Chains A and B, each alone.
Chain A
Amino acid sequence: MKKKRVFENIIHGIFLILGLVTVGFVLLITVYLIISGIPAIREIGLFPFLFGRTWASTAAEPSYGILPFILTSIYGTAGAIVIGVPIGFMTAVYLAKLAPKGVKSVMSAAVSLLAGIPSVVYGLVGMIVLVPAVRKLFHLPDGASLFAAIIVLAVMILPSIIKVSVTALEAVPKEYEDASLALGATPAETYFRVSVPAAKSGIAAAVVLGVGRAIGEAMAVMMVAGNVANMPSLFGSVRFLTTAVASEMSYSSGLQRQALFSIALVLFLFIMLINAALNFFLKRDKEGGK
């Protein structure tokens, strides 16, 4: 009997360790980013690093200011949200409430396909179709710009926004809608004035998820944004936080390499903030939906 208990305890211990692996991975990532990100910030100085307006890592007198990257990431994400959220939101209301069954299942498959397309494929189509179109349309010397990146990001965040919003809208209790319809509101009025407010936490979570996706995307943006470390302008060639890391990593060394780790640390902090917001909305959605 005693032998059996020891055996069971060992098994319990093994599963406990497997359960804690996830926590271990998060700690590993956090610790590695902090340890490798801090030295460069210390050498450059926090203020010149975050608010310096020029990034010239390979110049004779290097300068490491990442304000252009931070602003580009913020503007790019904001632009993608401004374009992607209304389209995604309206599509979600249509799919969750109005669409006939057949249309809904075909559209859901289409949204899953959009979600599954690898980011480099988006980048490739952006490079071949979008960038030349932007150049011609706005008479620019080069179409690779913040504007092109915003369009690509807006398309890429569409599926997450639609999926999460549809789930939230479908969870709205039928009684709410029935009550509104019985009071004489038309279906369209009911969906927008009753269902949408009831699902607002879930929709907020969808938007925050979109923000996270947009700010973390690297490869597609790398292929369409031009990748020059300018201060952001809509039709200028720009570099995001993610692409700043990706574009110099392969040949960097010394302080330049450490500064790239610091950029990753800044990006990580942004993501952690977004995760916290996402959790807040998801939790409220769970409590409020019941």
Chain B
Amino acid sequence: MNRGRKCYILGMKLLMWLSAGITAALTLFLLGYILLKGIPYITWELLSTKPSYIAERIGILPDILNTLYIIFATLVFVIPLGVGAAIYLTEYAKNKRLVGMIEYAAETLSGIPSIIYGLVGMLFFCTFLNLKTSLLAGALTLVIMNLPTVMRTTQESLKTVPQSYREGAFGLGAGKWRVIRTVVLPGCVDGVITGCILSVGRILGESAALLFTAGIAHDLYGLFEGLSNSGSTLTVALYVYAKEQGEFEIAFAIAAILMILTLLINLAAALISRYFKKRRSL
């Protein structure tokens, strides 16, 4: 082997190791730094109270609840829409152009930046539908954002339902709707669960789309009262505390919580996909 070739091979290998090293180091740094700076400030008082000027304390209980409410409301709307669209595409649609159009629309939706969702959500849900700045308006905006995800994961799982099951059911005299209800729907459970986990991750991390639709208030409400009022999720609260109020300790505490939740969600997604793969191969 001549020297030029040897240099090329060595150079490429070095560059690969360097790049992979940078990626690994970055992840380790971010994880370690955020957890080390955030965890000391996570106290029971922080988690269990709301901000109070009189007591001069900041609590993030309202933000935690708002996050849960918004996740709940988004999933309630997005699951039927996403599953329905996926069933239409795999079970009903025959027109190729229509299928292409729907899939192109889904791809377009997943490419639109969240700040544009926030703007349109504000114009349409808050102003036009008169929902004001509320958790419900925020959740509906997130429904549009997460629809392609749920639709795609459901579609993937429907493709694994064997065609012979459907034919068997049809052969026994079942109508289309009965086949969908008894054969197709049970087959898409894993896709829906995967879609939900991915959506929860995305909702948890979303800020730009919620800032102008769900607002930045920190009040304690029940679920239904909460949905009709303005409120900030954990992520929006982090932004406001860091950028507008300079409360970096609180911001890092929230960042550490978000980091732990992201880890848990990734773990859940990996475990679920492994579980379903195993079950399917049985």
Interface residues of A (CB under 8 A from B): 4, 7-8, 11-12, 14-16, 18-23, 25-26, 28-29, 32-33, 36, 86-91, 93-95, 98-99, 107, 109-114, 116-121, 123-125, 127-129, 155, 158, 162, 186, 188-189, 192, 212, 215-219, 222-223, 242, 245-246, 249-250, 260-261, 264, 267-268, 271-272, 274-275, 278-279
Q: Given contacts A109-B270, A271-B113, is CB(A223)–CB(B176) below 8 Å? A: no
B262 contacts A117, C-beta separation under 8 Å: yes
> Bound complex: CA of A123 vs CA of B207, how far in Å?
12
Point out the residues of chain B lying under 8 angstroms from A274, CB to CB: 111
Given contacts A88-B19, A116-B205, list 8 more A-B pairs with CB under 8 A.
A8-B175, A15-B84, A16-B92, A28-B124, A87-B22, A114-B30, A186-B9, A261-B119
- Note all chain B residues with C-beta closer than 8 A to A4: 175
B88 touches A33 (CB 8 A): no
B187 smallest CB distance to A (angstroms): 16
- Which residues in chain B, 17-60, are within 8 Å of chain A measured between CB atoms? 17-20, 22-24, 26-28, 30-31, 33-34
* CB nearest neighbor in B for A215: B113
Please list 19 pairs of residues, one from A and one from B, whose beta carbons are closer than 8 Å in the complex, sorted by A's number.
A15-B87, A15-B91, A15-B92, A19-B84, A21-B81, A87-B19, A89-B19, A90-B16, A90-B18, A98-B13, A114-B30, A120-B236, A120-B238, A121-B238, A124-B248, A124-B251, A218-B113, A219-B208, A271-B113
Min CB–CB distance B247 → chain A (angstroms): 11
Question: Does B101 count as interface, using CB distance less than 8 angstroms?
Answer: yes
Asked if B282 is an interface residue, CB under 8 A from chain A, the answer is: no
Nearest CB of chain B from residue A39's CB, rounded to whole Å = 13
Q: Which of B13, B208, B211, B238 has the most CB of A within 10 A?
A: B208
Chain B 106-131 interface mask (CB, 8 Å, partner A; 1/0): 11110111111111101110000000
- For B92, list chain A residues within 8 Å (CB): 12, 15-16, 19
A246 contacts which of B26, B148, B208, B269 (Cβ < 8 Å)? B208
Q: Which of B116, B239, B258 contacts A123 (CB 8 A)?
A: B239
Once bound together, how far apart are the Cα atoms of A213 and B112, in whole Å? 9
Q: How far is the CB of B12 from chain A (nearest CB, A)?
A: 5
In the bound assembly, the distance between CA atoms of A117 and B81 in angstroms comes to 27
Complex Cα spacing A168 to B16, Å: 17
- The docked-state distance in angstroms from the alpha carbon of A51 to that of B109 is 29
Q: Which residues of B contact A (CB under 8 A)?
A: 5, 8-9, 12-13, 15-20, 22-24, 26-28, 30-31, 33-34, 80-81, 84-85, 87-89, 91-93, 98, 101-102, 104-109, 111-120, 122-124, 144, 147-148, 151, 175-177, 180, 201, 204-208, 211-212, 235-236, 238-239, 242-243, 248, 251-252, 255, 258-259, 262-263, 265-266, 269-270
Q: How far is the CA of A100 from the CA of B269 in the complex (A)?
A: 23
Q: Which residue of B lies closest to A110 (CB)?
A: B27
Q: Which chain B residues border A216 with CB–CB below 8 Å?
A: 112-116
Chain A residue contacts of B116, Cβ below 8 A: 29, 33, 216, 264, 267-268, 271
A19-B85, A116-B265, A219-B208 given as contacts; is B255 within 8 A of A121 (CB)? yes
Report, nearest first, the 6 A-B pairs whose CB atoms are least far apart: A216-B113, A18-B84, A19-B88, A118-B205, A90-B19, A110-B27
Is the Cβ of A21 less than 8 Å from the Cβ of B85? Answer: yes
Residues of B within 8 A of A272 (CB): 108
A189 to B2, CA, bound (A): 14
Contact of A25 among B9, B93, B105 (CB under 8 A): B105
B30 contact set on A, CB distance < 8 A? 114, 117, 121, 125
Note all chain B residues with C-beta closer than 8 A to A215. Answer: 113
Inside 8 A of A26's CB, which chain B residues have their CB?
105, 108-109
Q: Which residues of A contact B120 (CB under 8 A)?
A: 28-29, 32-33
Establish whether residues A25 and B113, one from each chain, have CB atoms under 8 Å apart when the complex forms.
no
Closest CB of chain A to B108's CB: distance in Å? 5
Q: A218-B113, A245-B115, A264-B119 are in contact. Are A158 and B85 (CB under 8 A)?
A: no
| B residues near A15, Cβ cutoff 8 Å | 84, 87-88, 91-92
Residues on A with beta carbons closer than 8 Å to the beta carbon of B12 = 188, 192
Please, which residues of chain B bring their CB within 8 A of the CB of A279?
Answer: 104, 107
Residue from A22, A125, A188 within 8 A of B147 (CB atoms): A22
In the complex with contacts A21-B85, A188-B13, A29-B31 CB distance below 8 A: no
